[in-house]
Amino acid sequence: MGDNFEQNYQPQAETEPSKQAAPFPVIGLGASAGGLQALKDFFTHMPAESGMAFVVIMHLSPKHESHAATLLQATTEMPVTQVTEAVKVEPNHVYVIPPTKNLEMSDGHITLTEPEPLHRGKQVAIDLFFRTLGETHNQNAVGIVLSGMGSDGTNGLKRIKEYNGLAFAQDPKDAEHDSMPRHAINSGLVDFVLPVALMPEKLIEIWRNASRIKLPPETEPPPVVSQEDADEAALRDVFRLLRSHTGHDFTHYKRATMLRRIERRLQVNGLPDLTLYRDFMREHPMEAQALLKDLLISVTSFFRDRAAFDELEREVLPLLFHEKTKGDQVRVWVAGCATGEEAYSVAMLLLEYAERLASPPAIQIFAT
């Protein structure tokens, strides 16, 4: 149980992570009402030399001093620190949110930000941290939703999953207040639903297996593949199984993305390679649906592909607005826009360009 996986685990990122992203698993734990006991149970069962880092996000009153770090220190030999300034995240350390700030991940550091007004009366500190954790640490990111009221954490789990991270939720039967974990579970985003006491063992099992995962290169293989190339043969079989069980053909899907999503499924199922995964899919037909769900998770953000937006601004917009004046209309259709960030990014470019014109045309955007 005390194995250190920091040196062994080298995941591939869906989106290039920050240059200073931690090369070891970073576990975000979100808790609210009843969550302190859940956190105590978690750290009581987590070895001190797991090779992981832990960040605890709780809903704390800004009017009172928090003793959460002191109480958690009594349950573990790992250093437990309440974050008071930007700090580089280290393995085998526990970091706890202070009562007057929010926490975010950036460049391998935990940073403090000022809390914003409650979003529609709801706490979002867990969502905020989970989102930045997923964006910076990709497959090294794990979000765990523990006991609490409300729904904080669920939206953040979506971001973690978009970047190939893992999502846990406390078994509602094990939670003092089941609203937060139940909301996460009902979203369909959660990979593991477990009593808190069993989570440490599962995490260690996942990262032990992660160090054994072997996948073919992300570059396309030569046109003629050797019969001895078991990985390529297994990958083709995975495509066939997906097609037969889901009706979706991913043969020409972006290879790098496909392999990263499969790597996530290998982590979840404790498998080291494509050959065993292919056999697992044959024995468990529902795995094809699980892989399909992972493949269809949209990864989106504002100006996500900066080079493409620069090209759009430089080469396309001048042609689009050429000889257009007041009374004319520029119409743009953004297809497959997921949650809308791409459409808003295009809108910002259009408006900025139009503002430079003496008599700009009207702008209409269709986002589907």
Same domain, 195 and 257: no
Whether residue 2 has pLDDT greater than 80: no
The pLDDT score that the predictor gives to residue 18 is 45
* Most distant CA atoms of the chain, gap in Å: 71
Domain-embedded: residue 284: yes
The pLDDT score that the predictor gives to residue 116 is 72
Same domain, 319 and 286: no
Which comes out higher in pLDDT, residue 3 or 139?
Answer: 139
Tell me the CATH number at 252. Answer: 1.10.155.10
Last residue of some domain: 239, 270, 295? Answer: 295
Whether residue 7 has pLDDT greater than 60: no
Domain-embedded: residue 15: no
pLDDT band per the 50, 70, 90 thresholds, residue 63: confident
Domain-embedded: residue 8: no
pLDDT band per the 50, 70, 90 thresholds, residue 228: very low
Whether residue 227 has pLDDT greater than 50: no
242-266 pLDDT tens trace: 999 999 998 888 888 889 889 989 9
Mean pLDDT of all residues in the chain? 87
131-167 pLDDT tens trace: 999 999 999 999 999 999 999 999 999 999 999 999 9
Same domain, 203 and 247: no
Q: 274-283 and 255-269 helices cross at what angle (nearest 10)? A: 70
Same domain, 74 and 48: yes
The pLDDT score that the predictor gives to residue 296 is 84
pLDDT band per the 50, 70, 90 thresholds, residue 51: very high
- State how far the Cα of 145 lies from the Cα of 7, in Å rounded to an integer: 27
Domain-embedded: residue 1: no
Same domain, 317 and 288: no
Same domain, 187 and 40: yes
Whether residue 187 has pLDDT greater than 70: yes
- Partners of 142 in beta bridges: 27, 166
The pLDDT score that the predictor gives to residue 297 is 76
Q: Please report, to the nearest 10 degrees, the dihedral formed by the alpha carbons of residues 352, 355, 357, 361 taken in order.
A: 90
The pLDDT score that the predictor gives to residue 310 is 84
pLDDT band per the 50, 70, 90 thresholds, residue 294: confident
Last residue of some domain: 161, 182, 210? Answer: 210
pLDDT band per the 50, 70, 90 thresholds, residue 5: very low
In the chain, % of residues over pLDDT 70: 89
The pLDDT score that the predictor gives to residue 15 is 43
The pLDDT score that the predictor gives to residue 118 is 60
Domain-embedded: residue 163: yes
Domain-embedded: residue 137: yes
Same domain, 311 and 332: yes
Domain-embedded: residue 196: yes
Domain containing 337: what range?
A: 306-367
64-100 pLDDT tens trace: 888 999 999 999 999 999 999 999 999 999 999 999 8
Whether residue 62 has pLDDT greater than 50: yes
Whether residue 219 has pLDDT greater than 80: no
Same domain, 42 and 63: yes
- State how far the Cα of 48 lies from the Cα of 364, in Å rounded to an integer: 57
User: If DSSP states are collapsed to H, E and C, what string results for the chain?
Assistant: CCCCCCCCCCCCCCCCCCCCCCCCCEEEEEECCCHHHHHHHHHHHCCCCCCCEEEEEECCCCCCCCCHHHHHHCCCCCCEEECCCCEECCCCCEEECCCCCEEEEECCEEEEECCCCCECCECCHHHHHHHHHHHHHHHHEEEEECCCCCCCCHHHHHHHHHCCCEEEEECHHHCCCCHHHHHHHHCCCCCEEECHHHHHHHHHHHHHHHCCCECCCCCCCCCCCCCCCHHHHHHHHHHHHHHHHHCCCCCCCCHHHHHHHHHHHHHHHCCCEHHHHHHHHHHCCHHHHHHHHHHCCCCCCCCCCHHHHHHHHHHHHHHHHCCCCECEEEEEEECCCCCCHHHHHHHHHHHHHHCCCCCCCEEEEEEC
pTM of model > 0.75: no
pLDDT band per the 50, 70, 90 thresholds, residue 14: very low
Last residue of some domain: 295, 329, 350? Answer: 295
Q: Give the closest residue to 293 by CA, choosing from 234, 245, 337.
A: 245
Whether residue 11 has pLDDT greater than 70: no
Same domain, 135 and 35: yes
Same domain, 34 and 179: yes
The pLDDT score that the predictor gives to residue 229 is 80
Domain-embedded: residue 45: yes
Same domain, 145 and 80: yes
305-332 pLDDT tens trace: 777 888 888 888 898 898 888 889 989 9
Tell me the CATH number at 40. Answer: 3.40.50.180
Number of domains in the chain: 3
Same domain, 191 and 321: no
Which residue, chain included where needed, has tokens 């999503």? Answer: 261
17-48 pLDDT tens trace: 444 567 899 999 999 999 999 999 999 999 99
Mean pLDDT across 214-237? 73
